Amino acid sequence: MPSFTNFLRITRKKFEFEQGKRRSVMKLKEALKGILEDNELKKLIASYDIIGDIILIRIHPDLESKRVIIADALHKIHPRVRSVTAVPLYSYTDKLYRTKDLEVIWGDENLETTHKESGCFFRVNPRSVFFSPRLSYERMRIAKKVLHGETIINMFSGVGCFSIVIAKNQPRTKIYSIDVNPYAYEYMKKNVRLNKMEGKVIPILGDVREELKKLGLEGVADRVLMPLPEQAHSFLPFAARALNLDKEGAGSVIHYYDIAQGRKEDGLFKMSFKRAKDILASALENSLRVEIEEQRIVRSVAPRKYHIVLDLHIERTE
């Protein structure tokens, strides 16, 4: 369990991140007052992501003709930014690689950049890999839970962010980082070298369902990460088989991400937990105890629709 000092530290970072987002929203709306009509300002999606020296902002369809004006305002707020990139409000997301169609509306067409987070550096290109700076708090939250000497499997590692942040904060770990996207795998290798994590973070290219068995990684993990909320439930049987449930001690942990719908106050996590528990029980023939160590909303993705995480503590009962 994280110490109270660490809890305060990551809570403060989350607060600072949220405050920074609010300030940015206000700055953009203020910068466009008198330039956009009042009805246009109401449609402006004023929150945006900064990845390295690139801005990604969603554009409402009714404001397509004002994209250059919005981009110019963003550049004035962030003069060191190299590119401003538009993400259509209803853009298609690739199910396998989780990438979106992007269009540069100001600046350099080359979207490869270096993003700094929690003392780590990540080379990314949002055209070809998934990366969200909004997960920085979640990455640090997990890192603070990792114990000395753990073996970890990151089933959907992307460019290696979760894995590298963990290894940076708990060097005495070994993290097998698996991803099916060849572009993400190449960036992950670069990021491992960039952060001097060779031997601690092991990049693996392939489908985790095949790689676990092929590489002899079944039954070895103290902790499994599943940061793919749309599809993680279908991979739970493989996560269960990756766990080392025969060791002495306090069991193992799966960080299970899901999409939940409903009101925050009306048992938002219940259905996700029931589904996860049923799948795990089926995979291991009811021979385990599954309890929630921690549950939280990672972020809102639509009205009454949330990206959530359940930290599942798992022990064998026989």
Q: What is the mean pLDDT of residues 185-202?
A: 98
**How far apart are the C-alpha atoms of 193 and 200, rounded to whole Å?**
11
- Residue 228: domain span: 117-316
In the predicted structure, residue 18 carries a pLDDT above the cut 60: no
In a shared domain, residues 132 and 228: yes
User: Structurally, how many domains does the chain consist of?
Assistant: 2
pLDDT value of residue 198: 97
**How far apart are the C-alpha atoms of 144 and 296, rounded to whole Å?**
15
Confidence at 249, pLDDT banded by 50, 70, 90: low
Q: What is the mean pLDDT of residues 23-42?
A: 86
Confidence at 39, pLDDT banded by 50, 70, 90: very high
In a shared domain, residues 147 and 272: yes
In a shared domain, residues 162 and 310: yes
pLDDT value of residue 25: 57
pLDDT value of residue 102: 92
Cross-strand pairs, 224: 153, 254
pLDDT value of residue 7: 47
**How far apart are the C-alpha atoms of 28 and 22, rounded to whole Å?**
10
**How far apart are the C-alpha atoms of 125 and 112, rounded to whole Å?**
4
In a shared domain, residues 152 and 235: yes
**Percent of the chain having pLDDT more than 70?**
89
In a shared domain, residues 74 and 186: no
In a shared domain, residues 101 and 209: no
Instruction: Please identify, among 71, 96, 111, the residue that sits at the C-terminal boundary of a domain.
Output: 111
In a shared domain, residues 219 and 74: no
pLDDT value of residue 96: 77
pLDDT value of residue 287: 76
Confidence at 276, pLDDT banded by 50, 70, 90: very high
Across 7-16, 186-195, 274-283, the highest mean pLDDT is recorded for: 186-195
Instruction: Please identify, among 111, 129, 161, the residue that sits at the C-terminal boundary of a domain.
Output: 111
**Domain at 249, CATH number:** 3.40.50.150
